[in-house]
Amino acid sequence: MKLAVFASGFGSNFSALLEAEKQKKLSAEIALLICDQPKAKVIERAVNESIPYYCLSPKDFPSKAHFEKQLVQILEEHEIDLIVLAGYMRLIGSTLLEPYRNRIINIHPSLLPAFPGRTSIADAYYANVTESGVTIHYIDEGIDTGPIIYQEVVAKKPDDTLEAFESRIHSVEHAIYPTVLEKIIQEGETNEKTSVN
Ligand code: GAR
């Protein structure tokens, strides 16, 4: 089972997944990083761990379809089975979605459908919620929509700073993303065996 991680920024979830692979808690190979931001910290992480990476921006292509066609070609060349979004701040279009439907998973730092988008932790914090959380879901055409696989509630304490709340949410992400992915991989393999027998 070969995974490609897509990320746009800091890459703490990418590192958590790599750590899980090293500790054999994730029975898949993180074979590739796809990044759309040349200055993203996540690229340094890939270089340090000798993970091949591609940095491509849609603005260098005539259309989003051309951009995604190039991504599909890279994914096919590397025989990628599953795409794992980890802070990839771009909507997936049909050119990429169709060949990988039900094989693209996202993590989002809120209890979807509440607080979709790029600033969900701050949005929940300033909305004075008493709890928010983390959602892991399959990708569809929408922004942070698609069938939900798993959600975990994270409390917001009355005296939390935004940073403390953010850090609690990230800790939960780093703990649950590898575990949930491992479960999906195991269930997929069981289903494959059942359908062959
Ligand atoms: C994570 O909190 C992830 O859930 C979020 O971006 C952050 C990336 O952090 N994703 C979204 O908001 C998707 N809509 P990281 O680069 O340190 O892994």
Number of domains in the chain: 1
Strands (E), 56-146: 82-85, 104-108, 131-138
Q: What confidence tens digit (pLDDT) does each residue in 85-127 have? A: 999 999 999 999 999 999 999 999 999 999 999 999 999 999 9
Q: What confidence tens digit (pLDDT) does each residue in 134-147 have? A: 999 999 999 999 99
Residues in the annotated binding site for (6R)-10-formyltetrahydrofolate: 64, 89-92, 106
User: For ligand 1, atom 1, which residue shows the shortest CA distance?
Assistant: 87
Residue 136: CATH number of its domain: 3.40.50.170
- Sorted by sequence, the CB contacts under 8 Å of residue 9 that are 6+ apart come out as 37, 40, 41, 42, 87, 89
Q: Which domain holds residue 105?
A: 2-196
Task: State in Å: Cα 100 to ligand 1 middle.
Answer: 21
**pTM flag (> 0.85):** yes
Task: State in Å: Cα 72 to ligand 1 middle.
Answer: 23
How do strand 104-108 and strand 131-138 relate by DSSP bridges?
A: antiparallel
Q: What confidence tens digit (pLDDT) does each residue in 4-54 have? A: 999 999 999 999 999 999 999 999 999 999 999 999 999 999 999 999 999
* Band of residue 188 on the pLDDT scale cut at 50, 70, 90: confident
